[in-house]
Amino acid sequence: MKKIIDILLILFIFASLTIFSLVIAENPGAGSQGQDNSEVQSQQGQGQGDEQQGQGQGDQDQEQEQEQEQKGDGSTDVQKGQQLKAKTFNELKSMIREKRREMIKEIGSMKGNLQKAYENQNEVRIAVHSFLSMGEDLVGGIGKKVSEIAKQFNNSVQKTIRAEETIRNRSRILRFFAGGDQKTAEELQNLVDQNRIRIRQLKELKGECDCEDEIRTLMQEQIQSMELGQVKLQELIQNERNARGIWGWFKGLFGK
């Protein structure tokens, strides 16, 4: 038994040295810091010369951003409580199609794990927008309750996307040795649990809805999209929890 423990300790020391060397290898920029500093110094004069022009451009960009905020896209309208409401089923379908095109274009401009996270939750975002666009002309007296739940869901979606991106950005080396990001996985689990409660509430409201069958069918389709989104997140959470890493394996071995 003593020999086994000695061997495990040697392996642990070796693993620690390995991860240290791999981390350095993953961050080669540290070794070239001096070169980077010299380049910064050589460009400093030019940067100062361009500063006034950049400031003027920055002011112009800020004005453009303010104009865009005043016009507002779908997400801005949700935050300001100015979401447009459809009065007919065809108008609602048209708004959903337009929002889908906007979201696909938005995702196309992204890169890496952020893009993957948005793609993974895109149908949920569309479903949220669909519920936010349902006015009382379509769903009657449950309209305000539906909108309130959809707003809460919208805020949650932004948090789940950030959490998913954090998990996907975790280094392979860190995952191999230290395992998954258990803290973020737990935060994401809490969000999923809250979303499932909201989905149940939407199902109950759908049952109470004094609306046309086509509206009720559309509501069911969007609820199913929300449920599928939570299934995807639950799979991500489970994979992250199961990623124990070498350190977790050592802890489990000695824990026995």
27-54 tens-digit pLDDT = 444 444 444 444 434 444 444 445 444 4
**Cα-atom radius of gyration of the chain, to the nearest Å?**
25
How far is it, in rounded angstroms, from Cα 99 to Cα 85? 13
pTM: 0.68
Residue 134 forms beta bridges with which residues?
Answer: 86
Q: What is the pLDDT of residue 171?
A: 81
- Specify the 3-state DSSP secondary structure of 109: coil
Convert the pLDDT of each residue in 134-151 to its tens digit. Answer: 988 999 999 999 999 999
For residue 139, give the nearest of 76, 198, 222, 64 by alpha carbon.
222
Whole-number Å distance between alpha carbons of 254 and 54 = 59
- Name the E strands within the chain: none
Determine the 3-state secondary structure of 88 from DSSP: coil
Condensed to tens digits (0 to 9), the pLDDT of residues 89-128 reads: 999 999 999 999 999 999 999 999 999 999 999 999 999 9
Return d(Cα 179, Cα 26) in angstroms, integer. Answer: 18
Residues contacting 78, CB < 8 A, separation 6+: 132, 151, 154
Cα of 37 vs its chain's centroid, Å: 35
